[in-house]
Chains A and B, each alone.
Chain A
Amino acid sequence: MASLGELERAVMDLLWASQEAATANTLRDLLAQDSEAEGGSAGHQGKDLAVTTVLTVLSRLEKKGLVERERGTRPHRYQAVSSREDHTAELMHEVLGSAPDREAVLARFIGSVSESEAATLRKLLGGH
């Protein structure tokens, strides 16, 4: 059985690719297809995947603010809150932006380069 982390990733990949809301049943079938396509023992495991497991994964993703549930419909339909590109952009903005506590959270190879520093760098490297 794949770990919850791997399943979360697989579910998000499906939701990002389809851009449409899907029920846990649909997602389970798609996940089973995917692992069958990979063949071998993975295919066998894919068939064992329970809808409740998919629902667990979906509720974890919902808590993380990555998927939302359509209210009012039964069974519930889930969709991605924003696209993969938007999430990547958000993450990179966190990395490249100049939030004051960013420096303590992660260490970048090159910090923010101001315009004057970029000029200094060009001068330094040009003279080399």
Chain B
Amino acid sequence: MFWTSYFLAVLALVLAWPVPVLLSRAAWPARAPFTAMVLWQAIALAGGLSMIGAMLVYGLEPIGDNLIAGLRALAGMVFRNEPTTALGFWHLFALSAAALLSAHLVFTLLLTYVKIERQRHRHRELLALLASPSSERAGTVVINHDSPVAYCLPGGARSVTVLSDGLMARLEPDELRAVLIHENAHLSQRHDLLLWAFAAWRQALPWFPTTRYAQLAVNSLIEMLADDVALRSESKSTLIRAIALVAGGQAPSATASGPADTNGPGDGSLSATGGADSPRTTASRVSRLLSPEPPLKPAYRAMVLTASALLLAVPTALLIVPGLLG
């Protein structure tokens, strides 16, 4: 039981710092974005699990041979006022920390969801009044704005893709199709769930390198995944032209609106440090399209997926199996 808590603590540390740093520098995720996405999710989940598990196991060590027996003894102390003399100060401290961290993670997840939903709701309300539904495409609205803008607002059945007049004027029909397929891929692959989970993860533990790297990586990986969907029906050069036209049309408008928003002094510095949106995302997307590397070999992908499964299975097994055997 004792070595379990040390092992979990080491795992939590490794997953909080060196692993995400190495993974965020690796080049292979661009060659297998889906696999990389699975690995990031496994790192986040296993990281949280081992953090909480390590503290729980350490705190319960004096009162139970395994997690389940320990939790049962703890329940007796909490609900039936059994003596707590077996638990020292550090044990109680670890147990409280485990409970607080679990509550904090769940609470942040819910709070982030409410905040995101509220903003989306407000956005949809304004769109309903300002944008006109596209006559040709369902779930698409057009807004009267000169710079080329395309985005999607997820929301289940109320999901909507928004295009600006400026975009429609600048893009040829095939380029427009590529943009729409790209945005639609975000909606159909439910990327909003990933964005929500990783935004909450970062919000909950902002000082952990892992949460920042994970969010940056996930933001960039979903764009690659959506690009790959667009490439199935549109040519590479079409997609590149679309990206170039939209990026090129946005740059001057961003600087033009710069002096106007004096209330946002952090705006410039945020985009310089990347905010949550990696400043390299667009460039890495384009270089990935211009000089594509072969997809990662199936053997390597299988290895990464196995590692992801082990990351989740090992801490779970360490926590639960001794209790089931004993």
Contact = CB atoms under 8 A, between A and B. Distances in A.
A binds B: yes
Interface of A: 5, 8-9, 12, 64, 66, 84, 87-88, 90-98, 100-118, 120-121, 124-125, 128
Interface string B135-153: 0000000011101011111
Interface stretch (B41-49, B98-106, B271-279): B271-279
A109 B183 contact: yes
A105 B215 CA distance: 14
A110 B282 contact: yes
A104 B186 CA distance: 12
Contacts of A9: 128-129
A100 B126 contact: no
Given A103-B219, A106-B152, A120-B283, A5 B128 contact: yes
B290 interface: yes
Given A8-B128, A112-B279, A121-B247, 9 more contacts: A91-B126, A91-B143, A95-B162, A98-B267, A104-B192, A104-B276, A109-B242, A110-B250, A121-B282
A66 B290 CA distance: 46
Interface residues of chain B: helix, strand, loop or mixed (majority): helix
Contact of B151 (A100, A107, A112, A120): A107
B199 A103 contact: yes
Nearest to B261: A93
List 6 A-B pairs, minimum CB-CB distance, nearest first: A104-B199, A109-B150, A108-B151, A111-B277, A120-B283, A107-B186
Q: Which of A97, A103, A115, A128 has the most CB of B within 10 A?
A: A103
B254 A113 contact: yes
21 contacts: A64-B125, A94-B123, A96-B149, A96-B254, A97-B264, A103-B275, A105-B119, A106-B151, A106-B154, A107-B154, A107-B186, A107-B191, A107-B222, A108-B149, A108-B151, A111-B277, A111-B282, A113-B250, A113-B254, A118-B247, A121-B286
B321 interface: no
A106 B123 contact: yes
Contacts of A66: 129
A22 to B, nearest CB: 17
B120 A97 contact: no
A96 B279 contact: no
A117 B280 contact: yes
B54 to A, nearest CB: 29
A105 B127 CA distance: 14
Contacts of B128: 5, 8-9
The size class of the interface chain B forms with chain A is 35 or more
B10 to A, nearest CB: 31
Contacts of B151: 95, 106-109
Interface in B179-217: 179, 182-183, 186, 191-192, 195-196, 199, 215
A120 B254 CA distance: 17
B183 A88 contact: no
Given A5-B128, A103-B199, A112 B275 contact: yes
A104 B149 contact: no
Contacts of B154: 106-107
Q: Which of B112, B130, B147, B242 has the most CB of A within 10 A?
A: B130
Q: Which of B247, B253, B267 has its CB near the most chain A CB atoms (within 10 A)?
A: B247
Contacts of A90: 126
